[in-house]
Amino acid sequence: MSRRSIPRVRPRRLRHVFAVTTALLLSIVLTTDALAISWSANRALTGAGSGWGSHGGLAVSSSTVAHAVFEQAVLGSWGVYHRRTTNSGTSWSSPVRLSSPAIGEAGAAVVDASGSGVNAVWLESDDILAGSDTVVVHRRSVDAGATW
């Protein structure tokens, strides 16, 4: 009986086939992503002066409604503000101050949204960094951030 020899695939050729296949698939994925995504121009959510955003400062409550909470220094006092968009970020509402104007500082704001319910949480104190008398504050909107 004769033995048939099994053709051997050379590792070098196999690496070449793998590299070409990977490059082809990657180019298809990148082209597809580039065609599917478009970005609008940058829009400032804070006014002139100092502003600060925290992790968790943006929440989406529907396919077109989103909420942003951020810190803004106005006349030397840091406050927490909310803005919302109802058209997927094309335009944003005027800022609404959520934190108490009687407090010296407010910050580290986060927001969560689901349907028409929006919850915002942040810190308030006369001096947040010192930690003196710092409290966690919560506000809720039941009409998708139109009122608080």
Q: What stretch of H or E contains 140? A: strand 135-141
The whole-number average pLDDT for the span 57-63 is: 92
Structure tokens at 57: 């400062």
The whole-number average pLDDT for the span 28-39 is: 58
pLDDT of residue 33: 47
Residue 32 has pLDDT above 60, yes or no: no
CA distance 27 to 99: 48
pLDDT of residue 79: 92
pLDDT of residue 13: 59
- Average pLDDT of the residues of the chain: 82
Quote the pTM value: 0.71
The whole-number average pLDDT for the span 7-25 is: 62
The whole-number average pLDDT for the span 43-69 is: 88
Provide the residue type at 31 as one letter. T
pLDDT of residue 44: 84
Q: What Rg, from alpha-carbon coordinates, does the chain have?
A: 26
SS3 15: helix
Spell out where 75-116 has E strands: 77-85, 96-97, 105-114
Structure tokens at 73: 């220094």
Q: How confident is the model at residue 102 (pLDDT cuts 50, 70, 90)?
A: confident
Phi, psi of 130 (to 5 degrees): -75, -20
CA distance 147 to 125: 24
